[in-house]
Structure 1
Amino acid sequence: MQREALYQAVDEDDDPTRERTFRNLQELCHSIREGQETTTGINQQLNDSTDQTNNQLIQTSQLIEQYNQQLIEQNKRVRKRLSRHHERLRRIKEQQQRELDKFKTDINLADYAQANGYSIDKKKSSVNCLVLKNPEGDKILVGLNQSDGHYFYSSVNDNKDSGSIIDFIQNRKNLNLGEVRKELRPWINEPSNPPYSPKQTTPLLTPSTPDRHKIITQFEGFQVIVTHPYLTQRGISQQTSNDPRFQGRIYTDSRNNVIFPHVDREGVCGYELRNQDFKSFSKRGIKGLWASNGSKDDTTLVICESPLDCLSYHQLFRDDTTRYFATGGTLSDKQKTLLKGVFEKFHNKGGQIMIATDNDEAGQAMEQELRNLAPSTAQINRIVPRQHKDWNEALMAEIQRQREQQESQKRRGRGLSR
C-alpha cells in the first residue's frame, strides 16, 4: 500500500489532511479485519465438515461458494477504498510539489539570504549573477534558471553546497522539509506584507543556465595575479603582466594554473587554463573573448589567437593606445557576433584594426574571417612574425637575441680592458 507515501501523509503538518488520512487507514484496517475473520470462519467450517456425509459436503460446498462471493464483494470494497486513498495521496503530493515550485519561483533567494544576514556585493555581481556574503565569511552566488524560472545558488567555499532555496535553508538551518515549508509559507502567503524588505531594491536577474552559473562560481574562487612562473618561462616580464592594460585580466586557480577569463556581453562565460605542458578550457564553459582593459583614447585594436600572444605582442611593441583581444583558437559563431560588434564600435571612433594571428594556414584562414566581420570601410591590416609561428615565439627569439648581444658586448668590454 505504498508504505512510504502513507508515512509521508501521516507526517503531513496540515491537521485536516492528517485526520482524513487516519480515517482512511481505519476504514482499510476494518475491511481487512473483516476479510480475515471471514477466512478464519471458512477454514473452521472446512475442518468441521471433514467427517460429514456427502449431503453435508454438498452443503459445505454451497457454504464455501457463499462465503467466496462474500469475499469477492469484500475485496471490491477494499479496492475501492484503497483507490480513493491513493487518489487522496496523489493530490497531496501534487499540492506539496506545487508549493515547493512556488517557493523556488516566487521567493527571490537573494531577498531571503539578505533577511538571514547576507549582503549583496554589487561590484562583483553581474546581470545574471548576484554575489552575496555574510559576516561569517560564507559567499554565495544567486542566479535565475532560464529553463524553469527557479532561483538557485552555489557556494564559492564548498562546491557541494548548491541548489534551490530549499537546499539553501536545509544546508544552513538543518530543517526537515516540513519545517522548511513552515519557514517559507509566510513569504508566499502574505505578498503584501513580506517577512523582509531589503533596504535597497534587489537587482533584477537575467535568466541563465546552471552551467554558466557554475563557471562564474568557479571564477569567483580564482585570484588575480601580476606574475607567474609559467609567464616568466614564456618570456612575459612582470612589467608587462602588471601593465594597467592587463591588471585584473590574469588569474590563478588552486592548482596554480594561469587563468585567462573569456567574456561575452553578460560577463564571464568560460576560461582558458595554461601551465607548462598543459592547455585546457573550462568544462561546460563557452568561448567568448579574452580582452585587455580599454581606454577611450585607444586608436588600435589587435586581435591574436591566444592571450599569451597578446602579452607578447604588447611587450614587443609597447603602446599605451592599443587594446587587445584573443579568441582562444578558431572562431565560433558566438565569437564572430561579439567581434562584429567590437569592430563596428572601434571603427565608428576612427580606430584601426590589426590582425595578429599565427603565421600559418589556420592564421591566414582566420584573417579572412575577421576581414569579413569588419565594416567594409574599416582600416584593417595583417601583421605576422615572419620568422616565427606566433608572437610568443617571436618574443622568445628577441629575448635570446638581446641576451646574445649583451654577452657579445661584455666580451668586447673585457677585451678592451686588457
Structure 2
Amino acid sequence: MEHDLTFQQIKERVELPELLTHYGYTLKKGESLGRGKWHVFEGDDTLVVFKGRGNDWMYFNSQDDHDKGSVIDWMKNRVNSGRIAGIEPQPGRNVWQTVNELFRAYLKLPEQERPKLELPPLSETAPGERFQSIYTQNCRPLEDTTYLESRGIHKATLQQPQFAGRILNQLHTVQKEGMLAKTFVNTAFPAYHEGRVVGLELKGEGYKGQAPDSEFFRSLWLSNLPESRASHMVVAESALDALSYAQLHPGEKALYASTAGILTQNKVFEMKRVLGEECICGVKAAFDNDTQGHHYDTRLLAGMASEQNPMKVVREHKHLLTVEITATNPAGVQALTNHLKHYNDQAARQYRQVSGESAQAVSQTLRDELISSAKLGPSTYQFHVPMSREALSAFNQGAIQSLSFQHRIEIVKSQGKDWNQDLKQKQMEQVVKRELRPPVKTAEPTPNGERRRGPRLA
C-alpha cells in the first residue's frame, strides 16, 4: 500500500497554474493590473494566482472570499463543492484521503499529458500586497464629503490631522448595455494590517460593502496618531462611529480604530501590536450599545487579559456565553464572583416584582437570566453569561474592576444604539432648541422719541 503524500511534497511537486490548466482553466491574457505580481485564470470561476511567502503557489477566488489558500486548499474546496468533473468525493474516503488520491493520480500522469506553461516570473507577494494596486487605482483623496455630512460629520472634523489621508473616495463605474456609463463616488475606509492596506470598507447613500479580496478578519481602520502622544485608543465597530465619537468628544488625544463591524481574535492581536508599537497604554471600548456590542466588550477583555489571569471565550451559544479564567491567585476571581452575585440578587428582585413569584421560587425563566459559575480545577473557573446587554455589561464591568489586563481598559457606551445615532440626536436637539428659543425683545421708537421694548426674533 502506498504511503500518502505529505502536504509539503504536494506543494513542491504540483505547480498550481499547470494543475488549473489540466482541469480546464485558461490563463487570462493582457492582465496588466497585476503584472509581475499574479496571474488570472478563468474556468469554472475566476482565480488570482500568486507566489506567497516561502515561494509557495497561492490563490484566491475573486467571487468567493472563503475560497483561497494553497494548491491543497484549491483541491479540497473543489472536492467539497463537486463543481468540476473528475473532482468529487470518493466512497469510503474522507476529504483529505480523496485530495491525496487526486494529487497522486495527477502526478502519475505521463509527462506529455501534464500541461506545461511558459509564464513570466512572479515576485513573492506579501499579505495584502496584491490588494495594493487595486486600492491605489480606484481611490482618490477625500473631496466628496456628501455621505459623511449626511451622517452628521462636519468638515471641520474630517480636516483634523488625525483623519488626513485615512478616509478616501472610491470611484465605481457602472456600464449597462445601451446606456451611458455612470460613476458612483463612495466613501472608503482603508483597513490596515501591520501598516499595510489589506482591505477597503465602502459606504455610500443606501450602499455599504467592501472591495474584492479585502481581508477584514485581521485588519483595522486606523486614524493617524494625534500630534501629541496618544493616551489611549478608541475602538468602535465602524469608522463612522469612531468619527462620531471624535466629534462628540473634541480634544481627546486618541488613536481611533474601527473593526468594520466584527471583532475577531486576529483583530485583537493587531490591536495589541499597534498599542505596543506606539506605546499606548489605554483602550476605550466604544462598541455599540446593544447585545453584540457588549459581547464584543467581553471578547476584547478576554484578548487583553494579563498573564496573571488568562481569559478566553470557550463557547458562544445564541443565548449563552461561556468565559474561562485561569488564576493562581483567587482574590480577583472571588471579587468578580461577589460582583456577579450582587447583579444576580438585583436581577432576581426585579424579576419577582414583575412576575409576582415568591422569594423561594426559582423558575427556569429566572435561571436563564442569571450568571452562573463553576470551578473546574484548582485555578480554573468558568462563567456562564446570558447573551443580554444587562448580564454581559455586569460581567464586563466586574472583570474590569476585579482582574488584571495588559492595558488600561474602559468601556464607554453611547446613549442610543451607537455613537452616530448619539451625534444625530444631539444635532437634532440643538436645532429644536434654537427653533424654540423665545423671541428677544428690542426697543422700538415712540412718538416722543423714546424707544419701546418689542419682540424680535433671535
Structure number with higher relative contact order (C-alpha < 8 Å, ≥ 6 residues apart)? 2
Pick the structure with greater CA Rg: 1
TM-score, normalization by structure 2? 0.45
User: Greater helix share, 1 or 2?
Assistant: 1
TM-score, normalization by structure 1? 0.49
